[in-house]
Amino acid sequence: MDNPVLVEVLRGGQVESRHRGAVAVYDADGKPVLALGEVAQPVFPRSAVKGFQALPLIESGAADRYGLTEAEIALCCASHNGEPEHVATALGILVKAGQGPECLECGAHWPMYDAATRKLAGAHGEPTALNNNCSGKHSGFICLACGGLEVDPKGYVGREHPVQQAVRAAMSEITGAAHDVAIAGTDGCSIPTYAVPLEALALGFARFGTGHGVGPERAKAAARIRKAVASAPFMVAGTRRFDTEIMEALRERAFTKTGAEGVFCATFPELGLGLALKIDDGATRAAEVVMAALIARFLTLDDTETAAVQPHLTPVLRNWNRIEVGALRPAGLLSGAAA
């Protein structure tokens, strides 16, 4: 069965392209609230599960041992732009753990935000691992190794390192899905990534948002992570990024997290819901439209919140002369959200 069309791309009032995908919305008891497409199909969630990956950092006591701030905890869940604030915060986390940037095993790339890249290049600088969009998560892994598990952080990206064992256990337990070698791949930042059904990811995010179905310590850790992200949403992404703009408006009403290749996950704690979606062709632009449509569908928004969501729900397309040439819009069963 083909997944349904979730997003249409318009040019001159005509549909030019279509994005297919699947959506799972579940409650913490595992009850489906909305299921579109092949929600039992395993997908690699990539960076969408960084909140889950931060759970051992909190549960082990490492975050308290090093006195991590809410902004620093938020960065540990980030796919950030590599802006100066992100770089400085990642470095600050490492310093608290008595480590330096040389310990990061995520690799280096130019900042994801063009202005930050131009600034760095204009100063004749070169990108370091601190600019990597995953440097916050990796700094958190190093804190977990040193301050929680009390092991050598070297090689912490490896599947059998105690850090990744702890992360794998947390992800398996909260989603209820097996995370083993047979379904493992390697993520862009070199840590393991595991193919998990969308329905299991949605269940995991419902549990993450409510604390139901997990032990009291995990529920407390999840609440602390959500609070940190809501208080410092800039750290999770950055300038002109969906997650930052949406969570600046909604705060603790929604925890959203993008992943590579068209994956997006979220929880709406007040409704007890978890959401997971995957766009077949991996298009981030379509994943953002679908997530905006789900926010508009399930949450009652005030005028300020609506103003934050609307640009992501029907984003305008412009050419190089900044002339409006088209737009994206939700399609099929999601189309009512754009009305």
Cα–Cα distances in angstroms (integers) from residue 285 to residues 108, 109, 263, 327, in the given order: 25, 22, 11, 11
Q: Assess contact for 274 and 207: CB atoms under 8 A.
A: yes
Q: How many Å apart are CA 12 and CA 14, to the nearest integer?
A: 6
Q: Which of 201, 53, 59 is nearest to 136 (CA)?
A: 53
Q: What is the longest distance spanned by two Cα atoms in the chain?
A: 60
Residues of the chain with pLDDT under 50: none
Rounded to 5 degrees, φ, ψ at 129 are -60, -25
* Buried b or exposed e, range 308-329, using 16+ CB within 10 angstroms: bbeebbbbeeeeeeeeeebbbb
Predicted model pTM: 0.96
pLDDT in tens, 190-229: 999 999 999 999 999 999 999 999 999 999 999 999 999 9
What stretches of 12-164 adopt beta strand conformation (E)? 14-27, 32-36, 42-43
pLDDT, residue 339, reads 64
301: buried, middle or exposed (CB in 10 Å: 19+, 13-18, 0-12)?
A: middle
pLDDT, residue 306, reads 97
- Length of the chain equals 339
